[in-house]
Amino acid sequence: MAQNPRTSETDTTPNATRNSGLSRRSYVRSLAAVATAATTLGAAGTTTAEDDYEEIEATGQTITIGDGETWENKLIDMTTGQDIVITAHSSDWTIRNIGFKGENTSGTGSATFGISDTAGGSCTIENVYLGDGSSTGNGNPNGHGQTAFWVAPDHSGHIDFKNVNIQGFADNAIYGSAPGNKGGGTIHIDSCFAANCYVSHFRLATEGSKVTNSSVYVDDDGYVGRGIWAWSPGTVEVEGCQIEMNGHNTAIDAGANGQGTNVVLRDTDYDDQAGIAEHAGSTVQLEGDSGTDPEAFVPKGTPTTPEEAATGSN
């Protein structure tokens, strides 16, 4: 099966605004119960007329999205124990209303989504649920676990992430730093939620890339990767976010592999115990109403079940 390739630009060594009425702790801990109570999937590739989404069983297949294509309203059944890979290395594509049911337990250690805009265009990823995560045994021989979204080095355009829910992945949730060393494309993560992933949750590198109105949550029951990791050249902007690490790892990590970068942190609360790390001459600049009393939230419109995502009903 074709895999989304990985580059050497990976460090897998651990570094030992409130607008929702849903408690982040009760939300994170209730996900398993919600998934269990969800509707049982039918046969692969069938369409449920009532809910207007297609059900797809993961069987080791690769789905490729071309220029200008929209891929939407899919419910992916990962309880098969097999993998599925979605690749979009083209331009002006859209991925919308996609829900994944069950952990990825395939053990391939690839990325569920391998993406880039290779022609300087603009792409969109919105309303996606990857909250059931990947198993602890999910890793390939080079040490990587499963990544949710991997942005390829050749990315030269722009990708908007909106209302995406990623939890419990054995590697980065959104691994978007590779274009900093090559294509230079930008990424905007807005109104997204990531929790209990390893290495990092949101990882960016190019000037013009930003994380806004989003949350990171880490507790004692899952992977404890960095909150936001900024690679060179940057600058990376973070605004209106809540980064609640419960003392684990690093809330904001700037710089890597001997190269520095800059982060502008605006109107954002971060976990002071986890703190801020500045490597190789990096700087983290605090602006506006930034503080150290984070309370992670699930942004309005972000799906909390696979079915919500697939139907677009959240």
pLDDT in tens, 118-131: 999 999 999 999 99
In terms of phi and psi (left: phi > 0; alpha: psi -120 to 50; beta: otherwise), the region of 267 is left
DSSP SS3 for 55 = strand
Give the separation between CA 278 and CA 246, rounded to whole angstroms. 20
Q: Determine which helix (DSSP H) or strand (DSSP E) holds 40, and give its type and residue range.
A: none
pLDDT of residue 221: 85
CA 80 to chain centre: 22
Give me the sheet containing 174-176, strands edge to edge: 61-64, 84-90, 111-117, 147-151, 174-176, 200-206, 226-234, 252-254, 276-278
Give the separation between CA 190 and CA 309, rounded to whole angstroms. 16
| Low-confidence residues of the chain: pLDDT under 50 | 1-50
| pTM listed for this prediction | 0.87
pLDDT of residue 307: 98
pLDDT of residue 82: 94
Give the separation between CA 185 and CA 156, rounded to whole angstroms. 4
Give the separation between CA 263 and CA 241, rounded to whole angstroms. 13
Of 147, 250, 130, residue with least CA distance to 193: 130
Q: Determine which helix (DSSP H) or strand (DSSP E) holds 171, and give its type and residue range.
A: none
pLDDT of residue 136: 79
Spell out the domain ranges in the chain.
54-311
Amino acid letter, residue 157:
G
Q: Determine which helix (DSSP H) or strand (DSSP E) holds 307, and give its type and residue range.
A: helix 306-311
The CA-atom distances, in angstroms, between 176 and each of 97, 154, 186, 221 are: 21, 11, 9, 25
CB under 8 A, 24+ apart: contacts of 285-294: 288/239, 290/265, 290/266, 293/269, 294/242, 294/243, 294/244, 294/245, 294/251, 294/269, 294/270
For residue 65, what are its two tokens? 């999205």
Give the separation between CA 25 and CA 232, rounded to whole angstroms. 33
Domain 54-311 has CATH 3.40.30: no
The answer to whether 71 and 94 have CB atoms below 8 angstroms apart is yes
